[in-house]
């Protein structure tokens, strides 16, 4: 049985060890900084200490109630509560650990032993919190480095302190003899480390990861199935004759991939709880081993399940955030490119086109001034130059329109699509409302229609085309359908691929249906609330 | 050379580019039009039109204070004897869509193609 004890009184300058950021983008809870010299601050600190004391007391009594597989408890969830408490409430709440631990241990150990061991129970979580702070730990556990820090710095390293102090106190009290000391030390260390690896993430997930909670709620039916399956499977694998314990791993991976941190931590807690219960009651593959091995193997198994799924959850979250950033970055690139096209179009209009217009009028003026000149060659030269200039101006206007049509900016998608239809070499029926949409949506939709109509003119051998623009259910749906020969290959040529990339940059979808002989339909769905 | 049908038709040129206004004036005057005034923006165009009472107003679509469509509409709505309005731009007509047909203007001429003949043809067509 694990004795509990009292903590040394010491002040700690920090209010909390959660990584603080000016703008938290992931919905993590952040501790409030408290001026504890004010009455409100002092009251808040008292509430935190009492809360932590109650939580520690309950979990310590629970830990004591578990049957032991050695001279100390195999599982010590109270340490997980202590570490999470210091991370969420601030290190100044440490007296809560001392009070809860001392009161829990008092009935079974006596005041002196309880006081001595409490030093161990307080110092290790405080050390863990300090190491995590130095590591720039984020309690959301959404990064691999945070999971590894929790496992290595808080779980493995810091708990050396509690195991060493705690077993030294027990040895001094004569509870542990020299021969038992290695087993007692390792049991203590493993119990505390497992509490940190299993319980702390669970509380941090509940306390900080708003996104994880939302994810779990969104998949609540799946979560219920997974949790029930976890309990049943763990119970089954630990009660049957076959050594199938490893089959629990897929459940942890399932939670990590689908349910996020909160799902993983709940599964880990269930697995640890059931396996410890089963082993203690003589069930499962580890129960038949010698006691010294049982603890090590059982908790190694539980640590493997917990660490694997925590790491996978963190990596999955990192990948999700990286993908989100890539998507946002791609959208920004497309928007920047569109803005640049608009700028070039304006510059062409305001600069080169105006100058060429002036040259055109000057040539016309020169032609008129030469009206009575006897030099017909010069007149011809001027007339040719004027015609060439008109062609250059027309090409420049075409180029500017291709960069970004002024009509789209000024009058919106409906008018721009109507204009495209009027310029098409075949009849185009347009159904497009006059509403305005966000610039990026209008531009992408326009270029979808533009490219699709150009393809119809080039390849489709169609007699008619229909263009429809529809805004429904938070989506702008743009469709171009012709009655041509079909058989278009979306993978050939860069035009459709470029369109698909452009649509995807806005989280939209581009579908191309072109069965041979049945026309082609290009359909873009763009999120547009 | 100047086979213009318009003799002594009075014109007001509205454009924010002084260089274009000067050249347009020279071209039109060389073809028999009488340019009675110039304006650099929509507000001064309305004042000049009310004062000078031109028969034709050439209005650039992109003006600094308002667009040419609005100027055309105001000229049509508020003048007792509205002038004929011809919109001009260095862009194409297709860059402006149906607004060209609904703003009350007589027609549209690309700036680069502006000439007395083009203007006369447009006015005859109206």
Q: Which long-range contacts (CB under 8 A, 24 or more apart) does A448-452 make?
A: A448/A478, A448/A480, A448/A499, A448/A502, A448/A503, A448/A510, A448/A522, A448/A524, A449/A417, A449/A420, A449/A478, A449/A480, A450/A420, A451/A495, A451/A496, A451/A498, A451/A499, A452/A480, A452/A522
Q: Give per-10-residue mean pLDDT for chain A (529 aa).
A: 31 34 42 59 90 94 64 75 94 94 83 86 95 92 94 95 90 79 86 93 82 75 90 80 79 90 91 85 82 80 93 94 92 90 90 92 89 79 91 91 88 91 91 92 94 91 94 94 88 78 91 92 92
Does the pLDDT at position B80 exceed 80? no
Q: Which residue has the higher pLDDT, A312 or B102?
A: A312
Gap between the Cα atoms of A288 and A306, Å rounded: 23
Report pLDDT for A6: 24
Report pLDDT for B2: 44
Nearest to A103 by CA among A48, A44, A49, A162: A49
Q: First vs last Cα of chain A: how many Å apart?
A: 61
Report pLDDT for B103: 86
Torsion angle of alpha carbons A198, A204, A205, A211, nearest 10°?
-160
Interface pTM, i.e. ipTM: 0.88
Q: CA angle at residue B95 from B89 to B98, to 5 degrees?
A: 105
Burial pattern A72-95, b for ≥16 Cβ within 10 A else e, equals bbbbbbbbbbbbbbbbbbbbbbbb
Gap between the Cα atoms of B46 and A186, Å rounded: 94
Spell out which residues of chain A touch residue B69, defining contact as CB-CB under 8 Å: none
Cβ-based neighbour number of residue A130 at 10 Å: 18
Q: Name the residue in chain B with its Cα closest to that of A400.
A: B91
Q: Measured between alpha carbons, how far is residue A35 from residues A16, A21, A89, A231, A417 in Å? A: 12, 19, 14, 45, 62
Give the pLDDT mean for B85-114.
89
Given an 8 Å threshold on Cβ–Cβ distance, is B97 in contact with A419? yes
Q: Name the residue in chain B with its Cα closest to that of A349.
A: B90
Q: Measured between alpha carbons, how far is residue A419 from residues A341, A406, A423, A503 in Å? A: 19, 11, 6, 22
The single-letter DSSP state of residue A174 is T
Nearest to B99 by CA among A415, A251, A292, A329: A415
**What does pTM read for this prediction?**
0.71
**Please, which residues bridge with residue A482 across strands?**
A465
- B1, B99, B111 ranked by CB distance to A357: nearest: B111
Nearest to A303 by CA among A277, A271, A281: A271
Report pLDDT for A176: 77
Spell out which residues of chain B touch residue A407, defining contact as CB-CB under 8 Å: 94-97
Q: Is B2 near chain A, with CB under 8 Å?
A: yes
Cβ atoms of B95 and A406 closer than 8 Å = yes
Gap between the Cα atoms of B104 and A275, Å rounded: 85
- HSE-up of residue A377 (Cα within 13 Å, Cβ side): 0
Convert the pLDDT of each residue in B11-65 to its tens digit. Answer: 999 999 999 999 999 999 999 999 999 999 999 999 999 999 999 999 999 999 9
Gap between the Cα atoms of A132 and A147, Å rounded: 11
Q: Name the residue in chain B with its Cα closest to that of A354.
A: B90
Q: Is A356 near chain B, with CB under 8 Å?
A: yes
Output the six-digit token pair for A315: 């990596």
Q: First vs last Cα of chain B: how many Å apart?
A: 24
Gap between the Cα atoms of A256 and A269, Å rounded: 14
């Amino acid at each position: 049985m694990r004795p509990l004890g009292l903590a040394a009184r010491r002040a700690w300058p920090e209010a909390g060890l959660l990584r603080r950021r000016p703008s938290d983008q992931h919905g993590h809870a952040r501790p409030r900084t408290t001026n504890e010299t004010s009455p409100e601050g002092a009251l808040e600190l008292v509430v935190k200490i009492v809360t932590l004391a109650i939580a520690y007391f309950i979990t310590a009594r629970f830990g004591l109630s578990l049957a032991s597989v050695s001279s100390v408890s195999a599982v010590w969830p109270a340490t997980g509560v202590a570490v999470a408490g210091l991370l969420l409430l601030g290190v100044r709440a440490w007296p809560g650990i001392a009070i809860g631990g001392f009161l829990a241990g008092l009935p079974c150990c006596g005041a002196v032993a309880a006081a001595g061991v409490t030093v161990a129970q307080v110092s290790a979580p405080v050390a863990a919190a300090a190491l995590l702070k130095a590591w720039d730990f984020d309690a959301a556990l959404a990064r691999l480095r945070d999971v590894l820090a929790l496992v290595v710095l808080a779980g493995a390293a810091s708990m050396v302190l509690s195991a060493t102090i705690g077993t030294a106190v027990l040895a001094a009290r004569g509870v542990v003899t020299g021969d038992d000391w290695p087993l007692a030390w390792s049991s203590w260390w493993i119990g505390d480390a497992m509490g940190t690896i299993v319980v702390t993430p669970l509380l941090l997930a509940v306390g900080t990861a708003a996104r994880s909670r939302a994810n779990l709620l969104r998949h609540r039916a799946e979560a219920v199935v997974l949790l029930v399956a976890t309990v049943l499977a763990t119970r089954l694998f630990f009660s049957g004759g076959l050594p199938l314990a490893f089959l629990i791993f897929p459940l942890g991976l399932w939670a990590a991939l689908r349910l996020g941190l909160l799902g993983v931590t709940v599964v880990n807690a269930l697995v640890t709880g059931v396996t410890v219960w089963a082993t203690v009651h003589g069930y499962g593959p580890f129960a038949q081993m010698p006691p010294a091995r049982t603890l090590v193997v059982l908790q190694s198994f539980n640590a493997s399940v917990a660490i694997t799924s925590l790491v996978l959850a963190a990596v999955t979250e990192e990948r999700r955030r990286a993908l989100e950033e890539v998507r946002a970055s791609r959208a920004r690139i497309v928007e920047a490119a569109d803005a640049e096209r608009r700028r070039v179009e304006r510059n062409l209009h305001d600069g080169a086109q105006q100058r060429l217009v002036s040259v055109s009028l000057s040539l016309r003026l020169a032609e008129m001034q030469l009206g009575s000149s006897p030099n017909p060659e010069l007149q011809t030269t001027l007339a040719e130059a004027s015609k060439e200039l008109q062609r250059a101006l027309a090409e420049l206007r075409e180029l500017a329109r291709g960069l970004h049509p002024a009509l789209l900016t000024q009058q919106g998608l409906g008018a721009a699509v109507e204009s495209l239809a009027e310029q098409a070499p075949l009849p185009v029926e347009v159904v497009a409302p006059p509403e305005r949409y966000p610039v990026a949506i209008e531009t992408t939709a326009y270029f979808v229609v533009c490219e699709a109509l150009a393809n119809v003119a080039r390849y489709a051998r169609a007699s008619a085309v229909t263009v429809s623009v529809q805004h429904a259910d938070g989506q702008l749906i743009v469709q171009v359908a012709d009655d041509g020969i079909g058989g278009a290959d979306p993978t050939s040529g860069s035009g459709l691929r470029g369109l698909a990339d452009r649509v995807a940059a806005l989280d939209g979808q581009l579908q191309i249906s072109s069965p041979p002989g049945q026309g082609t339909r290009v359909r873009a769905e763009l999120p547009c609330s | 050379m100047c086979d213009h049908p318009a003799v002594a038709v009075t014109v007001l040129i509205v454009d924010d580019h002084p260089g274009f206004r000067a050249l347009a004036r020279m071209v039109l005057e060389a073809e028999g039009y009488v340019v009675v005034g110039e304006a650099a923006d929509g507000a001064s165009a309305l004042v000049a039109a009310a004062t000078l009472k031109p028969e034709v107003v050439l209005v650039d679509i992109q003006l600094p204070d308002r667009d040419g469509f609005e100027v055309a509409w105001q000229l049509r709505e508020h003048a007792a004897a509205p002038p004929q309005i011809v919109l001009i731009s260095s862009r194409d007509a297709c860059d402006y869509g149906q607004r060209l047909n609904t703003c009350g203007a007589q027609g549209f001429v690309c700036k680069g193609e502006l000439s007395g003949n083009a203007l006369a043809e447009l006015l005859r067509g109206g």
